[in-house]
A and B are shown apart, each in its own frame.
Chain A
């Protein structure tokens, strides 16, 4: 792999990282609006408000970047970067299509993506503590509690797929995929997707940012570009969780004519899952903190363990 090749791949991944979350964000605006019998953004860019997020970006860039007087300045300023960059790093390892259509093949890819994703939450913890605001602190505490509860079922579900494929490399897992894995790994897939939603704090698991009670939690004091970075990291999180669910449980690039249009299948599956994420946000009320913990420890962890047993039994039997 030459230097040029590495650079080209990085630029491509960076491009995807900058474009796809914005696409998801715009889709969220429009889909949510239509589900609530509104039209959503309609003026910016003339055609159905396609440029709304570009306009938002320009607006955020012009706003003053305020740091509260009592805040820990360095940690406060560093937090949005810590929240966003891990998602970019994860995207490098996600295979889009067959025959090396991936930023970088990583030997222990599945462990890598889950490990780096967990780092992103440090960003909202840092922001929550450094803001010197009790709502932010509450948001930070909730983020930490949520991460600790949902990391375990996510890992267990991912371990089940790794057992099924007999490898921990992401392209290896997709290559080993067969259609009957869909019913076989269905429970694991549900657990993984649910835990993923909780990890990126999307509704109905948005207790840490609950705007109606703790005013956006860790992000209360942020403004301007740094707030925009936090928002971007939320959409990047949706992209990553959907992409991982696609790669691990939905067969990634597999589909008709996958040799030529495999990457399109991956993107299509990611798109459908992103739509489901938005749909869930519109449909479900927010879970209470105790309900969140109960769901993780008494439902998701046993389900994930059950899936592991099922995977093990089938794997040994065949």
Chain B
């Protein structure tokens, strides 16, 4: 990685590279706020900034399609679902007690483990890879679609089967619980 940086002018970064680092800092800062703020709805709203910033990073890496899908799925659906859940549980305005302090240490261990694994894999996979940010055909929708459905079609299909299984599992779980519940009522 250091080699790649040195080779491509560490001292004279382009505008896109500067923007990439700045947005990265925003993403990092808002991600820290997500886990440190004591106001649970604010955490969800900072998550919007984090995920939106990630979309901007994808955009700078020329992966336009991925960036918009990121906004569509994460900001438009996942965060809305989170907020929906928070509103249903009457999330208070103002400070609230940290939800579950007993699980803090195991959670930290899991988080650190996941970070270490991801970092190792990513650094190992993209060692000296360098992307010319000016070239915006690399990540266009057409190229993404071609590689997804020509090269990566098997993982794609396996993933969709996994998602389908999860979906059916969710339906079964919710149905069996509601049936047991109505049974108790009778």
Residues of B within 8 A of A108 (CB): 64-65, 68, 141
Contacts A132-B93, A141-B88, A144-B87; A125 near B80 (Cβ below 8 A): yes
Q: Does B31 contact A (CB under 8 A)?
A: no
A120: nearest chain-B partner, CB-CB: B76
**Interface residue stretch chosen among A145-153, A178-186, A219-227, A292-300:** A145-153
Q: Tell me which residues across on chain B come within 8 A of A140, comparing CB atoms.
A: 83, 87
B42 within 8 A of A: yes
Q: Residue-by-residue, is A107-142 near B (CB-CB < 8 Å gives 1, otherwise 0)?
A: 110011011101101100110111010000100110
In contact, B93 and A118 (Cβ under 8 angstroms)? no
B84 CB-CB contact with A under 8 Å: yes
Are B141 and A107 within 8 A (Cβ)?
yes
Q: Is A22 an interface residue (CB 8 A)?
A: no
List CB contacts (< 8 Å) of A156-195 with chain B: 168-169
Q: Is B75 positioned at the interface, with any CB of A under 8 Å from its CB?
A: yes
- Roughly how many angstroms separate A137 CA and B71 CA in the complex, as a whole number? 25
Residues of chain B within 8 A (CB-CB) of A70 are 93
Q: CA–CA, A108 to B65, complex, Å?
A: 6
Interface: B96 (CB within 8 A): no
B45 touches A106 (CB 8 A): no
Given the complex of chains A and B, what is the CA–CA distance between A126 and B45 in angstroms? 9
Name B80's contact: one of A114, A115, A116, A118 (CB within 8 Å): A118
Q: Is the CB of A168 within 8 A of B141?
A: yes
Partner pick for B83 among A71, A115, A125, CB 8 A cutoff: A125
Interface size for A (C-beta < 8 A) is 33
Instruction: Indicate which residue in A129, A137, A151 contacts B76 across the interface (CB closer than 8 Å).
Output: A151
Say yes or no: A128 contacts B87, CB within 8 Å: yes
Interface centre among A75, A115, A119 (most CB of B within 10 A): A115
Q: How far is the CA of A118 from the CA of B68 in the complex (A)?
A: 11
Contact of A122 among B42, B65, B75 (CB under 8 A): B75
Q: Is B75's CB under 8 angstroms from A111's CB?
A: no
Q: A118-B76, A122-B79 are in contact. Are A111 and B65 (CB under 8 A)?
A: yes
**Complex interface: chain B residues within 8 A of A122 (CB):** 48, 75, 79-80, 83
Q: Are B83 and A119 in contact (CB under 8 A)?
A: no
Residues of A within 8 A of B91 (CB): 129
| Chain A residues, CB < 8 A from B83 | 122, 125, 129, 140, 144
Q: How far is the CB of B108 from chain A (nearest CB, A)?
A: 29
- Per the bound structure, the CA–CA distance linking A132 and B93 in Å amounts to 7
| CB atoms of A115 and B71 under 8 A apart | yes
Asked if A115 contacts B72 (CB within 8 A), the reply is yes
With both chains docked as a complex, state the minimum distance between the C-beta of A316 and any C-beta of chain B, in angstroms.
15
Instruction: Judge if A72 is at the interface, Cβ distance under 8 Å.
Output: yes
Q: Say if the beta carbon of B33 comes within 8 Å of chain A.
A: no
Contact between B87 and A129 (Cβ–Cβ < 8 Å)?
A: yes
Residue from A115, A125, A169 in contact with B69 in the complex, judged by beta carbons closer than 8 Å: A115
User: Is B60 part of the binding interface, using a Cβ–Cβ cutoff of 8 Å?
Assistant: no
Chain A residues whose CB sits within 8 angstroms of the CB of B72 once the complex forms: 111, 114-115, 118, 155
**A145-B84 CB under 8 A given contacts A108-B141, A115-B76:** yes
Q: How far is the CA of A298 from the CA of B74 in the complex (A)?
A: 25
Residues 44-89 (chain B) with a chain A CB within 8 angstroms: 45, 48, 64-65, 68-69, 71-72, 75-77, 79-81, 83-84, 86-88
- Nearest residue (CB) in B for A145 is B84
Q: Does B23 reach chain A (CB closer than 8 Å)?
A: no
| B84 close to A148 (CB less than 8 A) | yes
In Å, the complex CA distance between A205 and B94 comes to 32
User: Which residues of chain B are near A145, meaning CB under 8 Å?
Assistant: 84
Nearest CB in chain B: distance from A272 CB, A: 28
Beta-carbon contact of B80 and A107 below 8 Å: no
B140 within 8 A of A: yes
Q: What are the residues of chain A within 8 A of B64 when measuring CB–CB?
A: 106-108
**Contacts of B94 on A, CB cut-off 8 Å?**
72
Instruction: Pull 26 A–B residue pairs with CB atoms less than 8 Å apart, ordered by A.
Output: A70-B93, A72-B39, A72-B41, A72-B93, A72-B94, A75-B41, A75-B42, A75-B45, A106-B64, A107-B64, A108-B64, A115-B69, A115-B72, A116-B71, A118-B71, A118-B75, A121-B76, A122-B80, A126-B45, A129-B86, A130-B93, A132-B93, A144-B80, A144-B81, A147-B80, A155-B72
Given A115-B76, A118-B71, A121-B80, 12 more A-B residue pairs with CB atoms under 8 Å apart are: A75-B42, A107-B65, A108-B141, A114-B72, A115-B75, A118-B72, A122-B79, A128-B87, A129-B83, A141-B87, A145-B84, A148-B77
